[in-house]
Amino acid sequence: MEMIPVGLVGVTGYTGMELARILVTHPVLRLTRATSRAEAGKPLKAIYPFLQGFPAGDLSITAPDAADLAAACRLVFLAVPHGAAMDYAAELLAAGLSVVDLSADFRLTDAAVYAAWYGLPHRHPDLLPEAVYGLPELYAASIKQTKLTANPGCYPTSVILGLTPALSAGLIATDGIVADSKSGSSGAGRKANTPMLFCEVHDSFRAYSLGKHRHTPEIEQELSKVAGSDITVSFNPHLLPIDRGILSTIYTRLLRPMPVEEVHALYDEFYADKPWVRVLPLGKLPETRHVRGTMFCDIGLVVDPRTERLIVVSAIDNLCRGASGQAVACANLMCGLPVDAGLHFAPMMP
Amino acid sequence: MEMIPVGLVGVTGYTGMELARILVTHPVLRLTRATSRAEAGKPLKAIYPFLQGFPAGDLSITAPDAADLAAACRLVFLAVPHGAAMDYAAELLAAGLSVVDLSADFRLTDAAVYAAWYGLPHRHPDLLPEAVYGLPELYAASIKQTKLTANPGCYPTSVILGLTPALSAGLIATDGIVADSKSGSSGAGRKANTPMLFCEVHDSFRAYSLGKHRHTPEIEQELSKVAGSDITVSFNPHLLPIDRGILSTIYTRLLRPMPVEEVHALYDEFYADKPWVRVLPLGKLPETRHVRGTMFCDIGLVVDPRTERLIVVSAIDNLCRGASGQAVACANLMCGLPVDAGLHFAPMMP
Amino acid sequence: MEMIPVGLVGVTGYTGMELARILVTHPVLRLTRATSRAEAGKPLKAIYPFLQGFPAGDLSITAPDAADLAAACRLVFLAVPHGAAMDYAAELLAAGLSVVDLSADFRLTDAAVYAAWYGLPHRHPDLLPEAVYGLPELYAASIKQTKLTANPGCYPTSVILGLTPALSAGLIATDGIVADSKSGSSGAGRKANTPMLFCEVHDSFRAYSLGKHRHTPEIEQELSKVAGSDITVSFNPHLLPIDRGILSTIYTRLLRPMPVEEVHALYDEFYADKPWVRVLPLGKLPETRHVRGTMFCDIGLVVDPRTERLIVVSAIDNLCRGASGQAVACANLMCGLPVDAGLHFAPMMP
Amino acid sequence: MEMIPVGLVGVTGYTGMELARILVTHPVLRLTRATSRAEAGKPLKAIYPFLQGFPAGDLSITAPDAADLAAACRLVFLAVPHGAAMDYAAELLAAGLSVVDLSADFRLTDAAVYAAWYGLPHRHPDLLPEAVYGLPELYAASIKQTKLTANPGCYPTSVILGLTPALSAGLIATDGIVADSKSGSSGAGRKANTPMLFCEVHDSFRAYSLGKHRHTPEIEQELSKVAGSDITVSFNPHLLPIDRGILSTIYTRLLRPMPVEEVHALYDEFYADKPWVRVLPLGKLPETRHVRGTMFCDIGLVVDPRTERLIVVSAIDNLCRGASGQAVACANLMCGLPVDAGLHFAPMMP
């Protein structure tokens, strides 16, 4: 099959690193440009020794340049911080490229909400209607048609996939939902800062940004669409001393008593043709290692009759499913490939 | 000061190990007996090389024997599984000893609740009224008077200390409380079993026993006492890839809107003369490492106006504050010593 | 391409688990039998939830039975302990199957050496001459011809690949070699035992079996072949608090002063057509994560002029390159497939 | 007892943090000044929340000022980088203070060697003869007399204590010694840099600075003194994914065959009155966790008759014994206190 050249703007972070990992074994998408102002001129393997021996390891890092990217690539992944991504996207779209933006810049449909949570005005609100939220289980058809995919956040991926069947079926109350999420440290990025040093994270656990994390409006936007009414969620992240993985424990109230078997059947049916979402057998609960390095989202279901709660536990790999793998799935769809091309990863165990 | 001889029944588990760690530097309590059927005859340092060089390292492990313990000790710590502890306690109390039971056998005042959650009948229900729940912040006066202390569970310690000020002041709804707790692996004990092997826990995270953990009735019993009405809690534990530490994120609903400063002042006042409970400055959240190896319970407070929730985060060391250190605090009180004798640990950082 | 049915005897250990991980995405070898006496009757996904969604996850575990294996498979992997493997091998070979034995039973060509180091007599010494040591870089041609491959040990793989170029070129003294090796915990196997519990391994580091590890004679046998003279090695293993990975730091004495560039060129040339061995650029040293989940062996070279030593550092993934991946490479060769079929893994980073 | 006021220049690194941890429970030394230009004006607990509740937590951080330190303190710990420490030391000594320098600035007696390895000239070579190398087991008498202690490096502490008995007794060859050392990540300091981020260290292992680490001349200087002849050592450090701990595996050649029992007896006798050095029973090897948070140096001894080697394994806590705890021990001696005042730590297990 003819290879499709793709570019990667922002190769030095963990999502860039993970895109590189995935693309080196992708059967069709070929990494043709990898950009970083700081590292321009070096071969990719100089900053990523783990790529020595792969052809992409010899790729020379370039400074980002829209014209060059447009000439060399058909699709570009943006793995740069929010705020920076929107301008790249505008420029690359104008040059005719397809864009998968891994930042938050095009996830929120309302520019005012973006401005409120991210603390800066959106400079390209005109592009927002064109952006498709890149969750393949919900929006595959639209992703195939778009030139601009807003790749979902890692936490939102876990919470939205966890709640969608229950909310769309009207099983649970739309108020009072609590998502207690725990993420591996790669979610914090690769910038040098003391609080993310090994000795500050290892053998410890902490909560952060309770009720204030920027993924909150994204979760609420998508769940509101699913439920058909405005939903406010208490979203609360924590930092795990692991590399990869998000596990969200989501507390909901059943609108009427219901045996867990019934909930399970409903989830099973909802995701029957979505092989990446694995609804676990009753009695089993997800573990982040079971999805490590993969596109899986494992879901465990518990009904607690004492408190009339449905507790949904969902686990993903924040870097693969929650970022770069999902971006490749979207790129696959945008390029007319099977959604899972190059994404047949088995979990790394142990 | 004259030393007080104490015994430890069940030295081979992590709570036994932690008791040994604490007692070797205790100024008054002297470990005089350490029992284990399996290891009897060996010096303590043979199974715990970290104790080489401490006098207790040369203590010869014995098989448990009530008469011998009674002759040699004034107080005995029981660090054996529930079910086994109650008989030891009865026998030792009959022999005139004071007992601190680290198991669950005397925590629940209602023998029927014990039988329902622990799956076995209580064989010494007559002793239940004599047992004092060993949480020094709430029950120091009673602990001083008793011969039988039921040392609190690790999770309950974190949840009860976290909620008591809010519940006793009537700030929050008594229904709908969710405690999402995360514990280090030492909480699972030291028995050989595959799911707790390094490679099954490391670099992963999982939930377990959601809504069904045996610490639930203990939490409900104590919180109901504090609130003055029956409380049902959704208690949900998770396993962290760390050695020590519990962090509980507790979700409550404020009965009336209240600035977080007001909640903070109330907590500060409640724990003003309880130096082990550290109410953190607003904006700070607990980390398990900040209490590692100590008696501290760190509490962080968040009011989320979007969801009208008070979120309480509490962190303890499950082995020290949540088990053996707390047991020593109770023993101190029972022996007429200052509650913090031998417990002046600074957190191990990093 | 037609699929080739293969069997796996001993699926419950870490090498069995890793074989399952690798085979579920293999393009030709299809896992058709997976055996375990203890788990027989269960689908594979019941013990390995991470395989849910893969066809192999639905494979029913069977008790090991040579006739059944012979009827169903063309090749069988033995992932059972040494001592047990030799009988399975004999039986399966007699039934006409090809066998890749991951245990030590056929690695040592001298049955007396086996008996001395493993503490039991070899019950099938007649098979020893037929067994080929399964290191593809050295013995690919023979592996293609054999029905019985002795899959190398994990430590030996790292040490032999690290020293072969220098020894075969006569650069270094054949006496006085020290290999200081450090392995991840999966190397200790998956049996429940207290010293391998999370809390016994995490945040710690220890040496073990210094000078006495059973991989010693295997290393010496292979290095002696390479050097053309008897070599005695001081081999000394250590246990790392990581899941996967071996890093061996190997201390040798240069026979004559030599610039490191010259040594590097020699290694580069030696492994020029062996893509899995990556000789790192001068100044770079291996890290276990750079080979995680892969077949790579990364080699770093240091010449220390102060001590006239050549220090070779080699890193592999003990489970993939050091066990199951290497076994699949051998199986590939034995089945007439390219050595790297199904083994195009990029390192999991981070 | 009257408290002795001490100061700490450079409180923000891990050695400063560890000094703070130790001093808050010290019975005599009272932390009276803690300096940091970047954090001046904040209470110590603002940067170290783990100190909330300790009097020192309320200490206000100041900018370093020799006159102020001289007025307020009797002794000052320097926990600043090499190069910076020497000027502080000169100034403080001139002001009449005692100084314990945790940097390398006064460890090497030869200013030329310092310049060669540290890449800068020594600006106070006149002070070098006054400095005492602060290893209490070897130099307690001199430490008591000096105003300037050069606190040993972490790696050298482990290697020197490990080799001294064998070298001073002439058991082993003075050439060909290899020290393969592995250190926890706190040894790399607390400065923000990408290679020390959690995700770059966790679940991995790497070698670094083989043959070139700056602790090499310090090791050689001290071992040469012990042996009475010039010793060149191949010293090779590695980075462990743990917080604290160094384990050195030291390879030597016995000058004449000797049963390990004889070596053991010699070590036992050598350290008979040095309670912090624990010579382990034959057959036991050190683990870093067994010395975690303490002053212990655990030593394991192996004689390998096949290679005629004596292998010495030594383990310390790099932050406590290898830095701040040792500094406090020296301060104790310099202040006329028992060497172990405030240092009665039992290992944190697990």
**Of the partner residues C199, C201, C243, the one whose CB lies closest to the CB of residue B14:** C199
Q: How confident is the model at residue C77 (pLDDT cuts 50, 70, 90)?
A: very high
Contacts of A263 in chain B (CB under 8 A): none
Does the beta-carbon distance from C180 to D180 stay under 8 Å? yes
**Which of A11, A31, A50, A292 is the mutation pick for testing C, counting most C CBs within 10 A?**
A50
Whether a cis peptide bond, with omega within 30° of 0, leads into C350 is: yes
Does the beta-carbon distance from D346 to B52 stay under 8 Å? no
Does the beta-carbon distance from A199 to D241 stay under 8 Å? no
Residue C1: is its pLDDT beyond 80? no
Q: How confident is the model at residue C104 (pLDDT cuts 50, 70, 90)?
A: very high
Does the beta-carbon distance from D240 to C245 stay under 8 Å? no
Each residue's pLDDT tens digit, D270-300: 999 999 999 999 999 999 999 999 999 999 9
Taking the alpha carbons of A125, A129, A131, A136 in that order, is the dihedral positive or negative? positive
Hey, which residues of D are catalytic here? 154
Q: How confident is the model at residue A187 (pLDDT cuts 50, 70, 90)?
A: very high
Residue A38: is its pLDDT beyond 90? yes
Q: How confident is the model at residue A285 (pLDDT cuts 50, 70, 90)?
A: very high
Residue A1: is its pLDDT beyond 90? no
Each residue's pLDDT tens digit, C130-145: 999 999 999 999 999 9
The whole-number pLDDT of residue C91 equals 97
Does the beta-carbon distance from C185 to B200 stay under 8 Å? no
Does the beta-carbon distance from B21 to D346 stay under 8 Å? yes
CA distance A138 to A147: 17
Across the range A259-272, mean pLDDT stands at: 98
Contacts of A196 in chain D (CB under 8 A): 197-198
Residue of chain D minimizing CA distance to A195: D192
The whole-number pLDDT of residue B203 equals 98
Fold for C4-130, please state it.
Rossmann fold (3.40.50)
Across the range A239-243, mean pLDDT stands at: 98
Q: How confident is the model at residue B138 (pLDDT cuts 50, 70, 90)?
A: very high
Hey, which residues of C are catalytic here? 154
The beta strand positions in chain B, using DSSP E, are 4-9, 29-35, 75-78, 98-101, 132-133, 148-150, 178-183, 206-207, 234-239, 246-253, 277-279, 297-304, 309-316
Chain D: give the shortest CA distance to residue C304, in Å: 6
Counting residues of chain C whose pLDDT is more than 70, the rounded percentage is 100
**Of the partner residues C18, C203, C293, the one whose CB lies closest to the CB of residue A203:** C203
Residue B329: is its pLDDT beyond 80? yes
Contacts of D287 in chain B (CB under 8 A): 49
Rg of chain B on CA atoms, in Å:
20
Residue B296: is its pLDDT beyond 80? yes
Nearest Cα to Cα of residue B135 among B90, B100, B187, B171:
B100
**Of the partner residues C178, C208, C311, the one whose CB lies closest to the CB of residue D211:** C311
**Which of A198, A202, A205, A244 is the mutation pick for testing D, counting most D CBs within 10 A?**
A198
C-alpha neighbours within 13 Å on the C-beta side of residue D53: 27
Residues with pLDDT less than 70, chain D: 1
Chain A: give the shortest CA distance to residue C160, in Å: 21
The whole-number pLDDT of residue D336 equals 98
Does the beta-carbon distance from C249 to D313 stay under 8 Å? no
Does the beta-carbon distance from A197 to D190 stay under 8 Å? yes
The whole-number pLDDT of residue A204 equals 98
Residue B286's Cα: distance from chain center in Å? 18
Q: How many Å is the maximal CA-CA distance in chain A?
A: 62
- Structure token pair of residue D76: 């000052």
**Which of D24, D42, D50, D52 is the mutation pick for testing B, counting most B CBs within 10 A?**
D50
Across the range A226-246, mean pLDDT stands at: 98
Does the beta-carbon distance from B198 to C196 stay under 8 Å? yes
The whole-number pLDDT of residue B47 equals 97
- The secondary structure of residue D153, as a DSSP letter, is P
- The enclosing H or E element of A7 equals strand A4-9
Chains touching A, CB cut-off 8 Å, 3+ pairs: B, C, D
**Of the partner residues A25, A284, A349, the one whose CB lies closest to the CB of residue C344:** A25
CA distance C328 to B310: 55
pTM (two decimals): 0.98
Same fold, D4-130 and D155-318: no
Q: C24 to each of A317, B178, B299, how far by Cα in Å?
A: 19, 40, 47
Residue B1: is its pLDDT beyond 80? no
Give me the architecture of the A155-318 domain, per CATH: 2-Layer Sandwich (3.30)
Mean of pLDDT over chain C: 98
- The secondary structure of residue C27, as a DSSP letter, is S
Each residue's pLDDT tens digit, D62-72: 999 999 999 99
Do C7 and C91 contact (CB within 8 A), yes or no? no
CA distance D88 to A321: 52
CA distance C209 to B218: 46
**Of the partner residues A186, A276, A346, the one whose CB lies closest to the CB of residue C350:** A186
Across the range A262-288, mean pLDDT stands at: 98
Chain C: give the shortest CA distance to residue B197, in Å: 4
Each residue's pLDDT tens digit, C190-223: 999 999 999 999 999 999 999 999 999 999 999 9
Q: Any idea where the domains of chain A sit in the sequence? A: 4-130, 155-318
C-alpha neighbours within 13 Å on the C-beta side of residue D55: 9
Nearest Cα to Cα of residue A11 among A1, A23, A19, A2:
A19
Contacts of B184 in chain C (CB under 8 A): 199
